[in-house]
């Protein structure tokens, strides 16, 4: 017989306090913790506070679509990227503590089947080989749009020995610098969407 556990019922509390409660629940729960919030504004507040309280916590946001089905207006690219990122990351077991923030509206909407995201991720590291054509084909198959300058999530550009793309709703796109002779990644960095100047550098990028 399983033991029944009585959890407290909270109501009328600020969204920021909910983040403190979730942090406590994370210490009591092994695996992925799912929180269903009131709306997208609530999960934004809860996610920001959780990120401040637990810097190493994996926080996945799954917002609802911002348009009606069969509407003439397409969903916002940031929402598309955020939903796709969460669904693809849920395919893998969490490496540590993980919390999924979503809303009631998002739960009642149909989602893309799991097999669509299988094999659609790539890890890129400095010094490893990377075929530009394979990378471009993967980006196009994943729904990315090719542009001259990358400014929004879901866009990519390829010029000479460098490729720029914004794979997830991050504040800055990612820039890959490869050697044209050996097709090896010689650098991974972020860039400013407005000035296109390169910023922080990394040894690898991906899941």
Instruction: Find tokens 């299988």 and name the residue.
Output: 118
Please report the pLDDT score of residue 7 as a whole number: 64
3-state secondary structure of 115: helix
**Position 177 confidence tier, pLDDT thresholds 50, 70, 90:** low
Those residues whose C-beta lies under 8 Å from the C-beta of residue 120, and which sit 6 or more positions away, are 88, 138, 141, 142
Q: Is the pLDDT of residue 203 over 50?
A: no
- Whether residue 10 contacts residue 68, with contact meaning beta carbons closer than 8 Å, is answered with no
Q: How far is CA 29 from the centre of its chain?
A: 23
Share of the chain above pLDDT 90, in %: 18
Q: Cβ-count burial of 173 within 10 angstroms (0-12 exposed, 13-18 middle, 19+ buried)?
A: buried
Please report the pLDDT score of residue 103 as a whole number: 94
Q: Is the pLDDT of residue 191 over 60?
A: yes
Q: What is the CATH number of domain 124-205?
A: 3.30.2060.10
A 10 A CB-CB count for 152 gives 15
Q: Is the pLDDT of residue 101 over 70?
A: yes
Please report the pLDDT score of residue 172 as a whole number: 53
The sign of the dihedral angle between the CA atoms of 55, 96, 38, 9 is: negative
Most confident segment among 5-14, 94-103, 164-173, 194-203? 94-103
A 10 A CB-CB count for 175 gives 22
Q: How far apart are CA 193 and CA 71, in angstroms?
A: 29
Instruction: Find tokens 């990315």 and name the residue.
Output: 144
Tokens standing for residue 164: 């720029």
In CATH terms, the fold of domain 15-116 is Rossmann fold (3.40.50)
Please report the pLDDT score of residue 81 as a whole number: 79
Q: What's the length of the chain?
A: 207
Please report the pLDDT score of residue 141 as a whole number: 75
Question: Where do runs of H (alpha helix) occur along the chain?
Answer: 15-28, 40-53, 77-89, 104-107, 132-141
pLDDT digits over 132-156, tens only?
777 788 778 777 788 887 777 777 8
Q: Is the pLDDT of residue 200 over 80?
A: no
pLDDT digits over 29-44, tens only?
778 899 999 999 999 9
Higher local confidence (pLDDT), 141 or 68: 68
Q: HSE (CB half, 13 Å, CA atoms) of 13?
A: 14
Parse the chain into domains and list their residue ranges: 15-116, 124-205
């Amino acid at each position: 017989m399983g033991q029944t556990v009585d959890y407290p019922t909270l109501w009328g509390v600020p969204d920021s306090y909910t983040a403190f409660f979730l942090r406590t629940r994370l210490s009591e729960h092994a695996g992925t913790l799912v929180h269903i919030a009131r709306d997208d504004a609530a999960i934004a507040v809860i996610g920001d506070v959780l990120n401040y309280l637990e810097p190493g916590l994996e926080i996945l946001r799954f917002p609802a679509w911002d348009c009606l089905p069969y509407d003439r207006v397409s969903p916002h690219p940031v929402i598309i990227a955020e939903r796709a990122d969460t669904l693809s990351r849920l395919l893998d077991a969490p490496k540590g503590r993980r919390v999924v923030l979503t809303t009631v509206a998002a739960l009642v909407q149909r989602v893309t089947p799991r097999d669509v995201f299988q094999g659609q991720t790539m890890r890129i590291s400095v010094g490893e080989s990377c075929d530009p054509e394979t990378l471009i084909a993967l980006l196009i198959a994943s729904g990315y749009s090719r542009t001259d300058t990358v400014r929004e999530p879901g866009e990519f550009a390829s010029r000479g020995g460098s490729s720029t793309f914004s794979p997830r709703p991050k504040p800055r796109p990612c820039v890959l610098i490869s050697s044209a002779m050996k097709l090896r990644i010689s650098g991974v960095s972020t860039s400013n969407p407005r000035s296109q100047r390169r910023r922080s550098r990394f040894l690898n990028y991906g899941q």
